[in-house]
Amino acid sequence: MSSMPHPYGAAEPATACQVAMAPEVPTAVVSRREFPMHEMPSLMDGTFSHLVEALEKVGIHPIGPAFALHHRAPVSTADLEVGIPVDAPLTETLTLPSGYEVTGSVLPAGRVGWVSHLGAYGGLAERWGAFTEEIGESAEQMTYPFWEFYVTPPAPDVNPATLRTDLFSMLEPRED
C-alpha cells in the first residue's frame, strides 16, 4: 500500500486544527443524492465489504483509508460519495454484489482544514461542531465539499475508543 502525500496519511493524529494544501487524489466511489441518513450503515457496509476486491479485478488498488465525502450539510438526507482513494483513475462503472455502482471521482485539490477525532463514531458530530468553530475562530471560511477518512479500519474487535477519523473541509481560497 503506497502512502499518500500530506495531509493524507499523516502518521500522527492532528489534535488541533491544521491547514494544508491537499493534492487532487483519484477515488472510486458510490455516489448518492438525497440519501437517507438513517440508512448510512447499510450504504457503508454495502460499499466497503466488496469495494477493494472489485477494484483489484480491474487492476486498481487502494492508497488510503475509506472515506465519506459530503457535497452539502447532511440533515435527514445527504448528497455524498463513499469510497476509497486509488492509485489510478477508475474509468468504468463497477457493480458491487450489494447492487451499488462504483464510479471514478476525486478528492479535490486545494487548501483544506483538517483535524483528527479519536474515539467512537458517536462522537463525530460533536467533533465536527468543534472543528467548525475552530475554523471560524482562525478567520478561515469552510466551503464544500467536506469529508472524513476512517483511518482506523472498523472491525468487530476494535476498541471504539482507539478509532481515528480525520476530518477535512475545503477552505475558501486566500487573497494574497
Q: Is the pLDDT of residue 135 over 80?
A: yes
Largest CA distance in the chain: 49
Q: Say what the pLDDT of residue 139 is.
A: 87
In sequence order, the 6+-apart residues with CB closer than 8 A to the CB of 64 are 4, 8, 9, 25, 84, 85, 149
Residue range 3-25: mean pLDDT, rounded: 81
Asked if residue 5 has pLDDT above 50, the reply is no
The neighbour count for residue 76, using CB atoms within 10 Å, is 9
Mean of all residue pLDDT scores within the chain: 91
* DSSP-assigned beta bridge partners for residue 166: 116, 149
pLDDT of residue 2: 35
The pLDDT score that the predictor gives to residue 142 is 94
Judged by DSSP in three states, 24 sits in coil
Is residue 21 within 8 A of residue 8, CB to CB? The reply is no
What pLDDT score was predicted for residue 173?
85
Q: Which residue has the higher pLDDT, 15 or 60?
A: 60
| Structural domains of the chain ordered from first start | 18-171 (3.20.80.10)
At residue 6 the predicted structure's pLDDT band, cuts being 50, 70 and 90, is low
More confident residue, 13 or 153: 13
| pTM for the model | 0.92
Higher pLDDT, 155 or 35: 35
Query: Where do the H-state alpha helices sit in the chain?
Result: 40-48, 51-57, 124-137
pLDDT digits (tens, 9 = 90+) for 34-47: 999 999 999 999 99
Residue 132: φ, ψ to 5°: -60, -40
Residue 169, exposed/middle/buried by CB under 10 A (0-12, 13-18, 19+)?
A: buried
Q: What local confidence, expressed as pLDDT, does residue 35 receive?
A: 97
User: What confidence score (pLDDT) does residue 132 get?
Assistant: 94
Q: How confident is the model at residue 176 (pLDDT cuts 50, 70, 90)?
A: low
Dump pLDDT digits (tens) for 85-110: 999 999 999 999 999 999 999 999 99
User: What value does the mean pLDDT take over residues 44-62?
Assistant: 96
Select from 147, 150, 57, 38 the least CA-distant residue to 96.
57
